[in-house]
Amino acid sequence: MTQLFGLIGHPVGHSLSPAMHNDAFKRLGIDAHYQAFDIDPAQFSTAIQGLKALGIKGFNVTIPYKVDIMEHLDEIDPLAQAIGAVNTVCNVEGRYVGYNTDGEGYVKSLLQVVNERELSAKHVLIIGAGGAAKAIFYTLASQTEKPKGIYLANRTVQRADALIGACPIEVEAEAVSLLHAKELLQEVDIVINTTSVGMHPNIDEEPLDLQRVQEGAIVSDIIYNPLETKWLKNADQAGAVPHNGVGMFIMQGALAFEKWTGRAPDKKAMEAIVLKHLN
């Protein structure tokens, strides 16, 4: 019997997850299929009931359902609970368990360019205070080797303040304005854009003026469409190290795949599929 997996969201048309997961199933000889389901908000509860009735083995959750899905689950992992959003659901013998692999996926992709041990000596500046920022901030805070300090910059500073205040994990952090963040670039080692500023089709926008960025600092964008945002191109020109969002996308998917199947997918193959579709 072919096992069913999927993605729920609205819209989901451009998602690369089906191609990535279906290829991974094939490579490991797992008889399974991953399907994207575009669910109308008015039909959300009915659709979830339907997926459960069909015995779906696991699914990813994307915008706008990462919060709404939580009340339909039997159990929620503590980190996902703290983040307040679920992007991965596992059917464990009929019990639906929610996780958030976005933050962990991001941190794993960051650790490909920063040594884990070195992270504890770094000052990080996160731009944005939405769901993605929360997942990344809380996951960084929960690392054994956590950053020395985290600045959280947002257009609306109160939102950054609230995000830090609600974090259940002890970490040195401060909410700042975007204006202040521009100056702080002189002292931070890692800058992370978690907003959608610069994402296709608004490719001329940038989340923060990089004039004062340190040479060798890591400038990281969670956006992967375009692969290299204007902001990352500027970072490169300023002598910083650009880090795009492909790694986060692959790692969050690989973590979900491992939770569903107990098997580790070939991440290089996943990356190749994603890059083929983006280029």
Q: Which residues are annotated as a binding site for shikimate?
A: 15-17, 62, 87, 102, 224, 252
* Cβ proximity of 230 and 204 under 8 Å: yes
The correct pick among 36, 132, 175, 250 for binding ligand ATR (CB under 6 A) is 132
198 vs 253, which CB is nearer to ligand ATR? Answer: 198
CB of 202 to ligand ATR, least distance (A): 8
Is residue 66 among the annotated active site residues?
yes
CB of 175 to ligand ATR, least distance (A): 11
Residue pair 201/116 in contact by the 8 Å Cβ criterion: no
> How wide is the angle at C-alpha 159 spanned by C-alphas 62 and 124, nearest 5°?
80
At 136, list the tokens: 């990344």
Of 154, 220, 244, 252, which lies in the binding site for ligand ATR, with binding defined by CB under 6 A? 154
Range 177-236, binding ligand ATR (CB under 6 A): 194-197
- Which of the following is catalytic: 26, 66, 108, 233? 66
> Which residue sits closest to ligand ATR, CB atoms considered?
130
Nearer to ligand ATR, 130 or 226 (CB): 130
By CB under 6 A, residue 18 contacts ligand ATR: no
Site for ligand ATR contains 176 (CB under 6 A)? no
Minimum distance from residue 134 beta carbon to ligand ATR (Å): 7
Nearer Cβ to ligand ATR, position 5 or 249? 249
CB 166 within 8 A of CB 143: no
Nearer to ligand ATR, 70 or 241 (CB): 70
- Binder of ligand ATR out of 72, 123, 155, 230 (CB under 6 A): 155
Q: Quick one: which of 276, 250, 277 has its CA closest to 265?
A: 250
H/E segment holding residue 75: strand 75-76
71 burial (CB, 10 Å; 0-12 / 13-18 / 19+) is exposed
CA distances from 180 to 28, 81, 87, 152 (A): 49, 31, 32, 11
Using rule CB under 6 A, residue 131 touches ligand ATR:
yes
Within the chain, where are the H helices? 17-28, 44-53, 78-83, 102-110, 116-119, 131-141, 157-165, 178-184, 230-237, 246-261, 267-278
Contact, 38 vs 11, CB < 8 A? yes
| Binding-site annotation: residue ranges | 15-17, 62, 87, 102, 128-132, 154-159, 222, 224, 245, 252
- Using CB under 6 A as the binding criterion, the count of chain residues that bind ligand ATR stands at 14
Binding site for ligand ATR (CB under 6 A): 128-133, 154-156, 159, 194-197
> Which residues does the annotation mark as catalytic?
66
